[in-house]
Structure formats: C-alpha cells, structure tokens
Amino acid sequence: DLFSDANLLGHGTYGSVYYGVLRDQQEVAIKRMTSTNTKEFIVEMKVLCKVHHASLVELIGYAASKDELFLVYEYSQKGSLKNHLHDPQSKGYTPLSWIYRVQIALDAARGLEYIHEHTKDHYVHRDIKSSNILLDGSFRAKISDFGLAKLGVRSNDAEASVTKVVGTFGYLAPEYLRDGLATAKCDVYAFGVVLFELISGKEAITKADTVGASSNSERRSLASVMLTALRNCHDPTCVGSLKDCIDPNLMDLYPHDCIYQMAMLAKQCADEDPVLRPDMKQAVITLSQILLSSIEWEATLGGNSQVFSGLVAGR
C-alpha cells in the first residue's frame, strides 16, 4: 500500500508526506491532506504552478477525491535540512561539512530571492524553517511547503499584508508576532534563524543549560541565544570565544573568517528592526562570496584531506 508507514517520509504542517514511484519510474513525494485543508492545498497548487526555480521544490501534479487531497512533488533523496543538523547520527545521517552548509544556505537564499523579487506576483513564504528546506541527492537545497505562502501586496514602501499569525515559533519575526504584518522581511528573519541553525547545529527553540531552571525559562529562541553571544563579536578573531555556539559536528573544520561572516549575516537577518535587515538579494551576494572563500580555504587543506576528497567526489 502506497500510504503505509513504510513509505511515510514525514509530517508537514498540513498533511503527511509519502514516498512513491510513478509509472515512468520517477521517484516522487506525495503530500496527503484531508479536505479540511482545501485552502492550503489551493494556495500551494497555485503558487507552485506559477513559480519554477532550481531552488524551489517542483510540483509534478495533484489529485483530489471526495475527502482527500494529494500534491505530488519531485522527490528529495536526502530529506530535510533539519534531519542533517539536529542529532544527525541518531537518524543515520553523516553531519554536514562546512562547504555543504554554505551551499545549502546559498541555494535557499536564491529560492527566496526568486519568490520575493523575480516572479510576476511577489510572494512571502511565511514558513521558512530547516524542516521546509529539502536536499536532493547532491545536497542541493530546495524550499518546500508553500501552503502558507501569501501574495506580497504592493504598497508604496513595502509589500505587506495583515493576517492572522501563522508559521512556526522560533522563526517568527517580532513585528509579525506583534501586528500580523507579513512582509518579505519576515522571511528574511526566518532565514537568519536557519543560518544560526547551520552554524550551531541547534534547534530554533533551544533548551537552556541552566540547572534547576523552571520549565518556562528552560526554552529560549536560538536567535536570542546567538544574538547575545554575538553582541561583543566585532571581527573574526572572536570566533574562538564563540566555540560553544558552533556545531561540534563541524570538528573545527571551517574557516574562521567565513563562519564569522555567516554569523554576521544571520545577525543582520534576525535584526529586531525589519528596516535594518538585508533583502534576499543582498544575502545571496554575501553567501556567494562566503562560498568562494570557503572553496579557496578547502583547497588549502590539500587533496590528502578526507574532507576535501569526500567533497570533491560528492560534488
């Protein structure tokens, strides 16, 4: 049976996702929803029928029965970014190298820049998070789950629409939580949190390591933890003092100047003030430069490095 637990890939915001194979042997992911999610089904279908980009998951088809709805997407062999960052070994994954993390960040940034600036209608995704960034067989990232996407309504100074607050805690911009104003800068904030996840390996809502703390104070947003740590960090020499905030799975194999630059970009993206956040075009430019510098750093490791050899083989 196609919809057996053996084929279950995971649970999305609005339904379960299953692995399947079409008659032409193409591997696909099938999102199965109940008809109570008709609104999200139609939104996702409309958006993905209009937008096509290498960094967005491609919609292959859809179907509906009396009480169920189905969306069929291209299959992402490596699953979600979240699974590769948070305790990956327990899920049978190898931790991501520094280069892969930068490439994934750049791919996701390009996908967001596309829906914010280059489509006929501009969209706000409203649910950017590491579980909605999927990885193909070559670890290239694609943004998924457009069920909450909203048209950016053009006004003189911003593209915004006031709505009831939806999305995932830990990724919600302060102004969106405050007044329900969904702008492209809300996606930028969430993207900043994803960058913090890539650097730290920690989840967006993190448990504080305080002994005897009450259950309320134990949970903090990763953004607040990282912003506090970065408060006195003004150049790459401070990376050593950030050791506790850098994913131990990186095993110290990263260029200090590049991890500093990514942390500074994440800090700007997660700024309290949306006006001070960069747009995704700026994020793409910065991450492109970080990727080039990281590749140069990797080359200095020499061909006998296992990290280097493995990456070249996998590219």
Q: Where in the chain are all domains bearing CATH 1.10.510.10?
A: 79-314
Report pLDDT for 314. 47
Selecting among 5, 107, 127, 136, the annotated active-site residue is: 127
In the predicted structure, residue 54 carries a pLDDT above the cut 80: yes
- Closest to 42 measured CA to CA, from 148, 169, 162: 148
Q: What is the pTM of this model?
A: 0.90
In the predicted structure, residue 301 carries a pLDDT above the cut 50: yes
Report pLDDT for 291. 97
pLDDT band (50, 70, 90) for residue 213: very low
To the question of whether residue 31 is assigned a binding role by annotation, the answer is yes
For residue range 59-102, what is the model confidence (pLDDT) as tens digits?
A: 999 998 888 999 999 999 999 999 999 989 998 898 999 999 99
For residue range 127-169, what is the model confidence (pLDDT) as tens digits?
A: 999 999 999 999 999 999 888 888 775 444 455 556 678 889 9
Give the list of residues 6+ apart from residue 265 with CB closer than 8 angstroms, or none.
192, 195, 278, 283, 286, 287, 290
- Closest to 204 measured CA to CA, from 266, 130, 277: 130
Report pLDDT for 209. 57
Percentage of the chain exceeding pLDDT 70 = 88
Fold assignment, 79-314: Transferase(Phosphotransferase); domain 1 (1.10.510)
Q: Mark whether 136 is an active-site residue.
A: no
Q: Where in the chain are all domains bearing CATH 3.30.200.20?
A: 5-74
Q: CATH for 5-74?
A: 3.30.200.20
* Calpha distance 25→301 (Å, rounded): 41
DSSP string, 129-176: -GGGEEE-TT--EEE---TT-EE--B-SS-BEEE----S-TTS--HHH
Q: Give, rounded to a whole angstrom, the gap between the first and last alpha carbons of the chain.
A: 35
